[in-house]
Chain A
Amino acid sequence: MSRREAKSVTATLPTGVEAPIFAEPWQAEAFAMTVALHDKGLFSWSEWAGALSAEVKQPGAASDGHDYYEHWLAALENLLSAKGVAGKGDIDALAAAWGRAALATPHGKPILLENDPSPTEGRGGPTG
């Protein structure tokens, strides 16, 4: 069988070709946050592997693996919620605020949470 036909396992990626590790910056940040939280002792690496495994084995995972970091992020959110660090509601509200802040930020300027034009919308004050 030629490499050209090698579709089922290697998906769209020819062997030996070094694809970028992270397709988008948020993937790198989600990865690094997980490593940093483990360094901090918030969870053991076995706990993490369990959380990630639960996500990636759900039916519907893309066979080419492109959604891997989406599962990674979901696993991180689940673990943080289970640890009582950040609930889904907190994350939803703050993510919406970041989305509004991004839209309100002019081109070329760094996106800051302070740029959110309606900071009280759906956010119950400080999350600490």
Chain B
Amino acid sequence: MSHDHDHDHDNELDPFAARVRALETILTQKGLIDPAAIDVIVDSYETKIGPRNGAKVVAKAWLEPDFAAWLKRDATAAIGSLGYTGRQGEHMQAVFNTADTHNLVVCTLCSCYPWSVLGLPPVWYKAPPYRSRAVIDPRGVLEEFGLTLPATTKIRVWDSTAELRYLVVPMRPKGTDGWSEERLADLVTRDAMIGTGLAREPA
């Protein structure tokens, strides 16, 4: 595979790499996978699919009330209309932050995450402390991310499943009137779409 080129250290496979090779060999022999297709999947997740997709969805919702309404009503279809469709047949739900309510997404079960719009999850999203504490103490968790919300702001925590994944639509920052979709999308961070952050303020 393309990843194995140009290693100039000793040719020693660590045990996990050797087991993955073994699985690939068996699955290829059985006709269950095609090594070329594996490379394509890796390449798209490393280079093509990422939080920029979600940022475009959010920026479009900020600019177009009709799209925002569609996103609220049927996020799977609205997001799919931009060409971002989930590979696992999962449904999407967009949850909108307001002045009163902040939304936070977690997967307590394992690491379900809206891949089609955010790419693959960051390490902390998959780690036990976030998975266990986001539900019990969301306000404390947000503070550890440097996000202190007013005590009056309600925090809703959404627990993802294999079938249903959430995208947080952060509030549009003030001082961005007349901005283009592209410029707005630059303010939308991955963390803002998980709910562990807010959209960036205009510089």
> A and B: real partners?
yes
A residues sitting closer than 8 Å to B (CB atoms) are 1-3, 5-11, 13, 15-16, 18-19, 21-22, 24-26, 28-33, 35-40, 42, 45-46, 48-49, 52-53, 56, 61-66, 68-70, 73, 76-77, 80, 85-86, 90-99, 102-103, 105-108, 110-111, 113, 126-128
Q: Using a Cβ cutoff of 8 Å, how many contacts connect chains A and B? A: 218
* CB of A44 to closest CB in B, whole Å: 8
A111 in contact with B4 (CB, 8 Å): yes
A26 in contact with B17 (CB, 8 Å): yes
Which residues of chain A are within 8 angstroms of B4 by Cβ–Cβ distance?
25, 110-111
B38 CB within 8 Å of chain A: yes
Using CB atoms, name the residue of chain B closest to A94: B22
A13 to B129, CA, bound (A): 13
Using CB atoms, name the residue of chain B closest to A32: B41
A65 to B128, CA, bound (A): 7
Which residues of chain B are within 8 angstroms of A31 by Cβ–Cβ distance?
41-42, 45, 120
A9 in contact with B87 (CB, 8 Å): no
A7 to B26, CA, bound (A): 41
Which residues of chain A are within 8 angstroms of B146 by Cβ–Cβ distance?
1-3, 6, 15
* CB of B81 to closest CB in A, whole Å: 22
B53 CB within 8 Å of chain A: no
Q: List 5 contacting pairs A-B, 8 Å CB cutoff, sorted by A.
A: A26-B16, A28-B42, A45-B162, A73-B16, A85-B26
B145 CB within 8 Å of chain A: yes
* CB of B25 to closest CB in A, whole Å: 6
A87 to B163, CA, bound (A): 29
* CB of B155 to closest CB in A, whole Å: 15
Given contacts A25-B17, A32-B41, contact A94 B11 (CB under 8 A): no
Chain A CB count within 10 A is highest, among B4, B5, B144, for B144
A99 to B113, CA, bound (A): 34
B110 CB within 8 Å of chain A: yes
A68 to B46, CA, bound (A): 17
